[in-house]
Amino acid sequence: MPTFLVHGGSDPLVPVGQSLEMASALRKFGIPERLVILPGLGHDLNFPVNTPGDLTGQILEFLATTWNDRTINP
């Protein structure tokens, strides 16, 4: 299943390394993924209020790309 990951770069609760490892594992198994690390943000991202304006665009682009990829099995 395609996976879009968002992680605050200054998250004091969950280390960024965990999202990096998750993204790497997904790639290893050929699962479409995208990891966006938001510098300076913590664990509570408060989407969409305190996130960069282009994050919504990145999410929509990822969904459009993966939804239209007929090679992905449900």
- What are 19-58's pLDDT values in tens digits? 999 999 999 999 999 999 999 888 887 776 667 778 888 9
pTM of the model: 0.81
Residue 70 has pLDDT above 70, yes or no: no
Nearest-angstrom CA–CA distance, 51 and 26: 24
Return the pLDDT at 16.
Answer: 97
SS3 sequence of the chain: CCEEEEEECCCCCCCHHHHHHHHHHHHHCCCCEEEEEECCCCCCCCCCCCCCCHHHHHHHHHHHHHHCCCCCCC
Return the pLDDT at 74.
Answer: 53
Return the pLDDT at 45.
Answer: 76
